[in-house]
Structure 1
Amino acid sequence: MDSYISYFLLVFMSFFTLINPFGSMPVFLSMSSDLQPKQRNRTARKAVIVAFFTLLLFAFAGNYIFQIFGISVNSLKVVGGIIFLMVGHDMLEARIGRTKISDSEKQVNAYVNDISITPLAIPMICGPGAITNAILLMQDAETTVKKGVLVLAIAAIMMLTYFIYYGGTKILHRIGDTGTKVMMRIMGLIVMVIAVEFLFGGLKPILVDIIQSATNPQ
């Protein structure tokens, strides 16, 4: 029993470090600042649910998916970097805020659905690091019980992420409209820095492989 508890803590802490819900929470607040509390909570809930099932999908079938489509984790990092770069640029120019201002409930719902899936669920919560971690940990889980513990740990980190996002909404009431706009631009800059890290983190191994293949042809 102690070994399973230790394994749960190991999995939980590894995902907590990679997902870093405290780091992504200000981005979530910036992107959902003009939404009503109920809509903001629905956005957070949908984001963690989508991220949870995405992680499970890659945990159980990640290797097969990569093999079928011929993709790699490095390619995933490049795509994630491009998505972050676009979102960060929009946040810097406050385009996200302008997109949200609408009297149409249909448009608001569409916006909630859009940001809850991308970029919140993928790749902010369920990023390349978390996906790789899920695949590797599932490969190391020899028994059915360990696989169950892994799924439980992923569910626990998703619940914690939701509560962190939910609790963070109280910050918006304190900083006001001006503070929200300032925070959006600051977080936009940070998201763009993360994008560059993702982009070059994925491009470097790809370029190294290309150079090695060119210099050492088979």
Structure 2
Amino acid sequence: MAHSLMEFALLCLTSLFTMINPVSITPVFSSITADLPVQQARHVALKATMTAFAILVTFALTGSIIFKVFAISVNSLKIVGGVLFFLMGYEMVQARMGRTRIDKQEEMEDLEEYTNNVAITPLAIPLICGPGAIATVIILMEQHKDILFRSVLFLSILTVIGVTYLFLLFAKPIMDRLGESGNKVLMRIMGLIVMVIAVEYFFGGLKPMLRDIFEIVPLANP
């Protein structure tokens, strides 16, 4: 029992860390919050990770039910996530992410609105809590009905989200050392990577759907 529990804990941690990938989120977070005060950037990091944690726990508890009720498939989620990723990556490649930043002379309420918006989208969704992470927690939740195993899953989610928060917390000092030119170069590179990930997500969801369609069509039209 203890051995199985340790194996499941390791599976949860590695799967979630791979799907969330805090390392790849860090440069994007830095680009989005580059013009924000340190305190506001930390607020964005905290809100984004807390939102992502709440979403993952919610999907772990009710994901399979939600998918069944609304007839949503994981493949559909991958396609939508891929489109969102691609649009965001394109903006980064064009170095236009900065246009969404807040001017330092704007009103405080605009700053608050901006930080609240970017904390939820694109940071919490789909960067931290993407289709892969959502699908992972649903699958892991369905693997074991035992309360102990499910507690391990929730603890793993909390651990990985905590690590992600630490990555975001130290992102700004690291990126400040790169300077404006370094940030722009890094933003374009990360934009390309985000677009590649988007394509993988998109076709990862599209292929199974097309496969199902082509399997059904011959049966419907013999």
Structure 2 partner of 1:184: 187
Q: Please tell me the residue identity of whatever aligns with 1:201.
A: G
- Residues 133-169 of structure 1: per-residue CA shift (max 9 Å, x gap): 1111111222212211211111011000000111222
Q: Which runs of 5+ in 1 are unaligned?
A: none
Percent identity between the two aligned chains: 46
Q: Note if contact 2:27-2:175 (Cα within 8 Å) is conserved in structure 1.
A: no
Give 1:84 deviation, angstroms.
0.7
Q: Please tell me the residue identity of whatever aligns with 2:217.
A: A
Task: Give the match's secondary structure for 2:170.
Answer: helix
Structure 2 partner of 1:115: 118
Identify which range, 119-128 or 95-104, moves more after superposition: 95-104
Residue 152 (str. 1) matches residue 161 (str. 2): no
Equivalent runs, 1:37-76 vs 2, <5 Å: 37-76=38-77
Partners of 2:10 and 2:48 lie apart in 1 by 23
Task: Give the match's secondary structure for 1:216.
Answer: helix
Q: Please tell me the residue identity of whatever aligns with 1:84.
A: F
Structure 1 partner of 2:23: 22
Partners of 1:110 and 1:87 lie apart in 2 by 19
Residue 90 (str. 1) matches residue 91 (str. 2): yes
Partners of 1:5 and 1:194 lie apart in 2 by 31
Structure 1 partner of 2:172: 169
Partners of 1:161 and 1:193 lie apart in 2 by 22
Q: Note if contact 2:102-2:114 (Cα within 8 Å) is conserved in structure 1.
A: no
CA RMSD, Structure 1 to Structure 2 (Å): 1.6
- Residues 28-72 of structure 1: per-residue CA shift (max 9 Å, x gap): 112221211111111111111111111111111111100111110
TM-score when scaled to structure 1?
0.93
- Residues 101-121 of structure 1: per-residue CA shift (max 9 Å, x gap): 322222222221222111211
Q: Note if contact 1:30-1:187 (Cα within 8 Å) is conserved in structure 2.
A: no
Identify which range, 152-161 or 6-15, moves more after superposition: 6-15
Structure 2 partner of 1:131: 134
Q: Note if contact 1:78-1:203 (Cα within 8 Å) is conserved in structure 2.
A: yes
Q: Please tell me the residue identity of whatever aligns with 1:123.
A: P
Q: Please tell me the residue identity of whatever aligns with 2:175.
A: L
Give 1:2 deviation, angstroms.
5.3
Structure 2 partner of 1:140: 143
Task: Give the match's secondary structure for 2:35.
Answer: coil
Give 1:15 deviation, angstroms.
0.7
Aligned length: 218
